[in-house]
Structure 1
């Protein structure tokens, strides 16, 4: 039976409009979405990494927290990758070779974890290499998205970034539950083997990127050198402005408060005996809660002043986070609430609040970027945010050590809960560092915010705890 050509055309138009949000589903778009999808699906190994560090390498909560902070370094120097890819083409190409290389390095990292890693130092190196792989591919694919977004009409503004975020979210949702259930049937190293396959997808689709080779002559070299020096000059001028560095300092303080995440992972698995399947279920619930929190912000709170959102989210997070004291002291059992249900509900609520509080960070960071250096300064601001995250883990590790919390001793965990939750109130005296009057970001700024959303969703921390570890 022959298919009517007009009917086939309508189906294609419908797919383009509803699935691809009006974007032409060509090979390059598929490649871009695949890279974002892989970013989300790499969460498959998040629980495996935590159990590997705890059970096979026998690290303490303090050591795990310190290690997770160190492996964030590749994200802190992320702007450097952009300068390198722009200024140092490989075989005349600025995009394809770097994507191929990032995919290969990612696979090497996960294969190493599956085979030759037997010490904490080796584990830190392998996990950092995996982070480096994702960070490099993210820089490259972000640049491709920005280039394509410039050609969008006003009616389609933001659709490409939303599509990219959706691809990452789908990958994350698929793996959220399976990250736990796989550990019920396979070893952590087997999960690493499975994860090692996905970075190769990035290398494979790199060849679908439409890119022409650059003819590198002396004039191009001088132009690139001038461009880099000019942007560095603009960047230096921007970061010295009080209107930029004061809000950035607030964001740093807000994110750098200590976290109890690693200690709670040990508490959940060693004290409460939560199984990987349940932890995967919590990952799924919190992933959905993340999307719900973002929807609440976009629907109801995006016009609310930054000071109001940050202030109330800090107070609510600190107050509701203290409910973990009921779990730590097992008081929840006395009032008839099962450990599993209490942990699930607590993680869900704190995740929603965390996402609502985090979205203004993206909007504020994008709004601070002056014209001509938007992408570079935005990447730098996000690097500052990641640096604060590393400080958060290190402070958490130090406090965990001081309190004598180990893989079996949780007597002082209640005090860690008090410290980490009440510390979220520390940024409140500095609320006046934020802009007093908020305005909606321009279209280009909003696009920049949405572009960087996929990479940052896994990094968002409510500053309390999740039942899983990053």
Structure 2
């Protein structure tokens, strides 16, 4: 009898063990799949389309080198201006929060953003094909790229707002959910958003190199028109829109519009140190607006946001090398379009795998811990690029049988996840504290602050390229430029973490 009674118990115990393993001990690899909801699809399609815009990247970069007259320092300076639409996201955020168009606070703005992006791609195609020629090609490149940026910013504002709205603050019974539960789900939405972005990049990475090698630049830009159509299709999946709506906050809207007009006047007026002036004004405007929006939060929360924001700002304000290194790999290492497509595809695959694998750590670990290890890893992984310039590939080819291309692939594979990984803790923090009725404005303001960090990085890139001058075919000063950019990329974030990490 005992054996007969033990059998069902043993079988029941086995079933219970399987159920427990499936429900409470699922590996982190399953978390993104289990976290996916149908309501997330419209915003994920926006992020996917943003990543898939990379279909034009290789063709655009080659076109700049082959047909435009811009030097790396000039391209870095243009990058500062192209970053500025991201710093006035609060204007779009305020409109999305408060001004419905044809009764819509979400669908209409996604379509408007898609239209801007399509116009930008059309402008680039016409410039490359010679059938749009009312200005110099350099100027038309800036116009087309700016239109794409504005379209992307508008759609990004909507997707950011939706990323906080799709997470319910109450359970099925109408009871308030716990803060940890809400924070974890918000973090998962951000992970899924970064995954959608990464999948978009992956979907076109190899294709971008192939298209650049076999098709005219004009044709590739026209093919890119399919990308804004993808985000526009996501509109059909939005079942209902947020009913949270507040009157326009004219302090934010008026301040943002006024700031935009000042930026435009400075840009067109050609004032000396105009970019630096705009940067300082931007920081003053954004910080003032953040003060107004965060007045409803308690002092402890505001301090935590302040110190965490300083750390993330320092992390994102690191300079890059600029376009000179890309040109050097084309002229000296003889990398071609197809190889760059493969390189971007490798980077995209590794980024997706990393975000998928580390979804638990990214959603549950502290911001300072995540960014500390990303900064350390980023510093280590900058060494292969420096080594390539100083001839590392010659030694590895003689000793191990692999050369520059293998080193570039290994470096891209190892370094690729970190830009995406570093964004997830920030986005989770912003989403968690987003106030009802001001979600788009809040997200836009915080994102504007973080994009000002990118502007700071672009300014540093410009300064470095003015000190260490790199031109087409003249790369003697590229080595010191690589070393100093790598050092700043380590010192700035680690210094901020050491100073403010315990208070974040």
TM-score range, shorter chain: 0.7 to 0.9
1:397 to 462, 465, 489: 462
Does residue 72 of structure 1 match 2:90?
Answer: no
Paired position in structure 2 for 1:62? 73
Count the aligned residue pairs: 413
Q: Which protein shows a greater Rg? A: 2
Gaps spanning 5+ residues in structure 1: where?
Answer: 1-16, 215-219, 439-470
Paired position in structure 1 for 2:309? 248
Q: 2-side partners of 1:344 and 1:411: how far apart?
A: 24
Q: 2-side partners of 1:385 and 1:253: how far apart?
A: 9
Superposed displacement of residue 107, structure 1: 0.8
Q: 2-side partners of 1:138 and 1:370: how far apart?
A: 16
CA 1:302 to 1:434, structure 2 compared with 1: closer, same or farther past 3 Å? farther
Contact 1:109 1:126 in 2 (8 A): yes
Question: What SS does structure 1 have at the residue aligned with 2:199?
Answer: helix
Paired position in structure 1 for 2:477? 412
Does residue 171 of structure 1 match 2:232?
Answer: no
Deviations 1:292-344 (A, max 9, x none): 33245434576555444434443443243133222002232133131111111
Deviations 1:102-145 (A, max 9, x none): 21111111001000264222211211110111111122233344
Q: How does 1:370-381 map to 2 (within 5 A)?
A: 376-381=441-446
Question: What SS does structure 2 have at the residue aligned with 1:71?
Answer: helix
Does residue 46 of structure 1 match 2:63?
Answer: no
Question: What SS does structure 2 have at the residue aligned with 1:43?
Answer: helix
Which stretch shifts more, 230-239 or 336-345?
A: 230-239
Q: 2-side partners of 1:142 and 1:306: how far apart?
A: 19
Question: What SS does structure 2 have at the residue aligned with 1:224?
Answer: coil
Does residue 224 of structure 1 match 2:247?
Answer: yes
Paired position in structure 2 for 1:121? 139
Does residue 185 of structure 1 match 2:214?
Answer: yes
Q: How does 1:328-347 map to 2 (within 5 A)?
A: 328-336=389-397, 337-347=402-412
Deviations 1:158-197 (A, max 9, x none): 5766655544333221101111111111122211000023
Contact 1:72 1:390 in 2 (8 A): yes
Does residue 107 of structure 1 match 2:98?
Answer: no
Contact 2:314 2:496 in 1 (8 A): no
1:140 to 151, 158, 161: 158
2:318 to 257, 261, 283: 257
Deviations 1:386-428 (A, max 9, x none): 1111221222122112212112111111101110011121343
Contact 1:38 1:199 in 2 (8 A): yes
Q: 1-side partners of 2:80 and 2:493: how far apart?
A: 21
Which stretch shifts more, 144-153 or 114-123?
A: 144-153
CA 1:338 to 1:253, structure 2 compared with 1: closer, same or farther past 3 Å? same
Contact 2:190 2:428 in 1 (8 A): no
2:351 to 273, 290, 299: 290
Question: What SS does structure 1 have at the residue aligned with 2:488?
Answer: helix
Superposed displacement of residue 245, structure 1: 2.6
Contact 2:157 2:443 in 1 (8 A): no
Does residue 281 of structure 1 match 2:281?
Answer: no
TM-score normalised over the length of structure 1: 0.76
Q: 1-side partners of 2:439 and 2:108: how far apart?
A: 25
Q: 2-side partners of 1:213 and 1:430: how far apart?
A: 38
Paired position in structure 1 for 2:294? 235
Paired position in structure 2 for 1:206? 235
Paired position in structure 2 for 1:456? none
1:429 to 491, 495, 498: 495
CA 1:181 to 1:317, structure 2 compared with 1: closer, same or farther past 3 Å? same
TM-score normalised over the length of structure 2: 0.71
Q: 2-side partners of 1:356 and 1:207: how far apart?
A: 30
CA 1:314 to 1:192, structure 2 compared with 1: closer, same or farther past 3 Å? same
Query: Aligned Cα RMSD in Å?
Result: 3.7
2:375 to 279, 295, 314: 314
CA 1:224 to 1:24, structure 2 compared with 1: closer, same or farther past 3 Å? same
Does residue 130 of structure 1 match 2:148?
Answer: yes
Question: What SS does structure 1 have at the residue aligned with 2:323?
Answer: helix
Contact 1:93 1:213 in 2 (8 A): no
Q: 2-side partners of 1:192 and 1:106: how far apart?
A: 11
CA 1:360 to 1:36, structure 2 compared with 1: closer, same or farther past 3 Å? closer
Paired position in structure 2 for 1:465? none
Q: 2-side partners of 1:274 and 1:200: how far apart?
A: 32
Q: 2-side partners of 1:322 and 1:213: how far apart?
A: 48
Superposed displacement of residue 100, structure 1: 2.0
Question: What SS does structure 1 have at the residue aligned with 2:416?
Answer: helix
CA 1:147 to 1:298, structure 2 compared with 1: closer, same or farther past 3 Å? closer
Contact 1:33 1:167 in 2 (8 A): yes
